[in-house]
A and B are shown apart, each in its own frame.
Chain A
Amino acid sequence: MSDQRPAPRVGLFVTCLVDVFRPTVGFAAVKLLEDAGCTVEVPSAQTCCGQPAFNSGDRKTAADLARNTIAAFEGFDYVVVPSGSCGGQIKHHYKELLADDPAWAARAHHLSARTYELVSFLADVLGVTNVEARYDGTVTYHDSCSGLRELGIKEQPRRLLNSVDGLTINELPGAEVCCGFGGTFCVKYPDISNHMVEAKIADITKTGADTLLAGDMGCLLNMAGKLKREGSPIRVRHVAEVLAGVTDEAPPIGDKT
């Protein structure tokens, strides 16, 4: 960032799963943003982006939660989300949800234009090309569906990971195939979900990587849960933890403290 410009004021949308399961990801995001010259705030009025309601057909609840998020994040230069799934909900679906509500539709568009997934914000908006971090290991990367197909996140995490000292990437065959999480899908259709995650971890194991990374906690909990159930030693982390160099501050997802 150029020194003349004021630091961009970023509102961090934490996401439910990071808030509850993996605060480390939230702090990694804060560190990455601050290192890149942003000031970061975390509005306490945020809750959930509303995607579970939206995808369950409950538009009213989804629209209420969209309004809540919009109100909570007004006034920031950018809103950054360490998840392609929640990021896609805010960036793309709020506009659709509130299309018939003229006052809120305009605010939804305004928020949409300022909202980015964390890694794409660093790479595409701030122009970050390398990070100060070290990770001694061979990682493989799963492209989470919403980030990939709704937000076009594919090269950005790989580019930044390549700047991490000591890290090697082994590409995952079928990296663009869904892991079987799918929000409520994984509990509504557990057997199909299981079949999908079984195939996914078989592919992950074949890469020979010792670490699995991805950008969405839902997918990560699913894949980590399956790897651990199968007794796999593969470590699972959110990509932000590695990019921020905070992997010594928390054990991998699903591993012992």
Chain B
Amino acid sequence: MHPTTHAFPENARKALSDERLQKVLSTAGTGFVEKRRKAAERLPEFEALRDQGRDLKNHVLANLDTYLEAFEAKVTEQGGHVHWCRTDQEARDAILGICRKANARTVTKGKSMIAEEIGINDYLEANGLIPIETDLGEYIIQLRHEPPSHIIAPAIHLSKEDVAETFRDAHTELPRDRLLDEPKVLIAEARQVLRRKFQEAEVGITGANLMIAETGSTIIVTNEGNGDLTQILPRIHVVIATIDKVVPTLEDATLVLRLLARSATGQEASAYTTVSTGPKRPGDVDGPEEFHVVLLDNGRSALLGTEFQDVLRCIRCGACMNHCPVYGSVGGHAYGWVYPGPIGSVMQPALLGVKEAGHLPNASTFCGRCEAVCPMRIPLPKMMRHWREKEFEQGLQPATMRRGLGVWGWFARRPALYHAATRMAVKALGALGRGKGRFARLPLAEGWTRHRDMPAPEGKTFQQQWAERKGKR
């Protein structure tokens, strides 16, 4: 996926004037917020679990090599294969290699953000394979050739009318008079088409919410059961996951799972939690003949030991974007690449570079709601600020802003001059028409006055009046 993150302001403007999108956004987000709040309230130890989750992940990140090697040893011991991949290209090639060796033609896919990150669908297609998304939302956007707009609800930007239209265009055998007006009917339609594909596929690719070092298992959570069919029916199961997903034990995994579903959808647990441990063993009635884990770094290890390490605690629940007023205003596509919302504003500069993704950490009011709900207590605003520091160091911010800040900073370091300057500024603003109480237009403040008035200063500065009063006392 070619990033358009550098064009965030234009993307945002388009999204804000897209009435259809705005209608969907105004109703979509609030459901998740309420559900998460209620789920957290129902569990008295929820806040304590968040502390434990944070501590667990910090421990893992401090011992990442140990746990990854232990995980690999267990997978191998059980007859599976681990493919260490430094870059997205290495991961694509590893997956293509597995498919080629299996003479695969059709590949089913469970939902995976890492698959989006490495652009596996386009790559497989370019190499003559047919990848088929089996998560309903992912399936819909695959038909529309769109990227996901949310990490757990990829088609959240679409209305049910949009989905019906998409199915009519893609499922050409569909009778024109068949009604597609209810979510239930839409799901049945997708299920009918996907059922056939599940049986055709030679390879099934899933992501992993967790990897367990103790057992060599991977875990996925879904609400549709598509992940199970993706990994059980084909002959080969490929798991694509990044290195930060490992935890030491099954017990640790349950801690993360308790936080994950509640934070994401307000469920106590997802409908399906599926543990995969190696290929089919003698005597097993089902399961894949081959089990591969494509273990991707793609820049994550470079964050270890830096001010951005904490972002690797992320469990991809989406709570940050559900609670973000900026995401709620512009939707996920405006962020221009795989990860939207506050987590994207921290991850995208790490993965794409601050030059491409520098807008994202700036496009935040630092309202702090993301951090307040993050199950892993990731200090997202603080990390966005760190990206702003990188930009400042590299001189990437607009010259007018840098100059403005420079002049202001020079005065603010010199209290006597600063107070003289503010006195003069207030006097000048007064001369511009204080009587009206506000300005509809102000030189140098177009960004403000385009959309709102600027309340006028009352008169003299506080410091000036205070000094005068003290003189009188």
Contacts and interface: CB of A to CB of B under 8 A. Distances in A.
Partners in one complex: yes
A149 B368 contact: yes
B455 interface: yes
A104 B325 CA distance: 36
Given A145-B368, A189-B363, A57 B388 contact: yes
B445 A229 contact: no
Interface string B80-92: 0000000000000
Interface string A51-67: 01111111101001100
A37 to B, nearest CB: 19
B412 A194 contact: no
B409 A65 contact: yes
Given A42-B463, A56-B401, A56-B405, A221 B412 contact: no
Contacts of A133: none
Given A57-B385, A58-B405, A64-B413, A191 B16 contact: yes
Interface residues of B, number: 67
Contact of B455 (A177, A193, A196, A221): A221
A65 B414 CA distance: 10
Interface stretch (B206-214, B231-239, B418-426): B418-426
Interface in B334-365: 362-365
Max chain A Cβ within 10 angstroms of own Cβ: one of B366, B434, B453? B366
Max chain B Cβ within 10 angstroms of own Cβ: one of A20, A176, A197? A20
Contact of B467 (A44, A48, A176): A44
B463 A192 contact: no
Contacts of B305: none
Nearest to B8: A189
B66 interface: no
A250 interface: yes
Nearest to A176: B369
Contacts of B454: 221, 225
A64 B456 CA distance: 30
A228 B365 contact: no
Contact of B437 (A27, A44, A176, A251): A251
A204 to B, nearest CB: 14
B174 to A, nearest CB: 38
Contact of B325 (A20, A23, A194, A196): A196
Contact of A68 (B372, B415, B460): B415
A187 B445 contact: yes
Interface stretch (B45-53, B100-108, B313-321, B390-398): B390-398
A207 interface: no
A192 B448 contact: no
Nearest to A228: B453
Contacts of A57: 385, 387-393, 397
A59 B390 CA distance: 10
B367 A194 contact: no
A19 interface: yes
B329 interface: yes
Contacts of A24: 458
Given A145-B367, A191-B13, A250 B458 contact: yes
User: Taking chain B's interface residues, is the majority helix, strand, or loop, or is none over half, making it mixed?
Assistant: helix
Interface stretch (A2-10, A106-114, A116-124, A178-186): A178-186
Max chain A Cβ within 10 angstroms of own Cβ: one of B325, B390, B414? B325
Contacts of B325: 177-178, 180, 196
Interface in A211-244: 221-222, 224-226, 228-229
A157 interface: no
A50 interface: yes
B451 A197 contact: yes
A180 B364 CA distance: 9
Given A23-B461, A45-B415, A46-B415, A149 B372 contact: yes
Given A26-B466, A64-B413, A192-B329, A53 B405 contact: yes
B12 A225 contact: no
A254 B438 CA distance: 5
B64 interface: no
B436 interface: yes
Contacts of A42: 462-463, 466
A156 B389 CA distance: 35
Given A68-B415, A190-B451, A225-B452, A56 B397 contact: yes
B33 to A, nearest CB: 10
Contacts of B419: 44, 47
Across the A-B interface, the 9 shortest Cβ-Cβ residue pairs: A182-B365, A187-B447, A57-B392, A57-B388, A225-B452, A178-B367, A23-B462, A254-B455, A194-B451
8 contacts: A20-B461, A46-B415, A47-B412, A65-B409, A178-B367, A189-B12, A189-B326, A256-B435
Interface of A: 14, 16, 18-24, 26-27, 42, 44-48, 50, 52-59, 61, 64-65, 68, 72, 145-146, 149-150, 176-178, 180-197, 221-222, 224-226, 228-229, 250-251, 253-257
